Amino acid sequence: EINVEDSRNRCGAALAAATAATLALGTDLHQIRRGLATVRPVPGRLQKISSKAGWTGAAGARSSAMGFNRIVDARYDRANPRTADREIPSGRLSMGAAAVFVVLSAAVFILSAALLSPLCLMLATPVLVVLFTYSYTKRFTALSHLYLGFAIALSPLGAWIAVTGRFDWPVMILC
């Protein structure tokens, strides 16, 4: 028997998990929602999970990725008149405070992933590595947007895993 409320909570959590990279990297949220609308959760899986864990994780991943990017780009932002007034280059926020923010946000993401499933927890750190690495690709390749596309493509995969608790090859069509 499928608990309808439980299914709604899991789908909400999955949408939130997918939103993490989506918001950080600019994917069309409607595209993700349409893809998730076709997913049917496995009955009984993650019965106690609340969509709050997914949304909290999304905010953690997004915040840590954006904060990391600001730290890494601070030197360049300081030299660019368009970005010189940002918090770190202007001195309104110290590098140390920004680093604490990134670490805490990443911890929120990892904890939220742990609440979703063991597989989500296992994949949380590699997802953060992918998100953080994008900040450096801009320095050595003209194909940084291709890498960005790869990072964004992890969103539907993450949502699938959050809903079903497993990796399935058919989900790669969404990626």
**CA 68, 25, 20 angle in degrees (round to 5)?**
80
Q: Is 128 exposed, middle or buried (0-12, 13-18, 19+ CB in 10 A)?
A: buried
Question: pTM to 2 decimals?
Answer: 0.70
Instruction: Give the DSSP letter of residue 42.
Output: P
- For the chain, what percent of residues have pLDDT higher than 70? 70
Average pLDDT for 81-108: 95
Each residue of 37-86: pLDDT tens digit?
544 544 444 444 556 777 788 889 889 999 999 999 999 999 999 999 99
Each residue of 120-132: pLDDT tens digit?
899 999 999 999 9
Predicted pLDDT of residue 10: 52
Q: Is residue 103 within 8 Å of 71, Cβ to Cβ? A: no
Distance CA 113, CA 64 (A): 14
**CA 20, 157, 17 angle in degrees (round to 5)?**
25
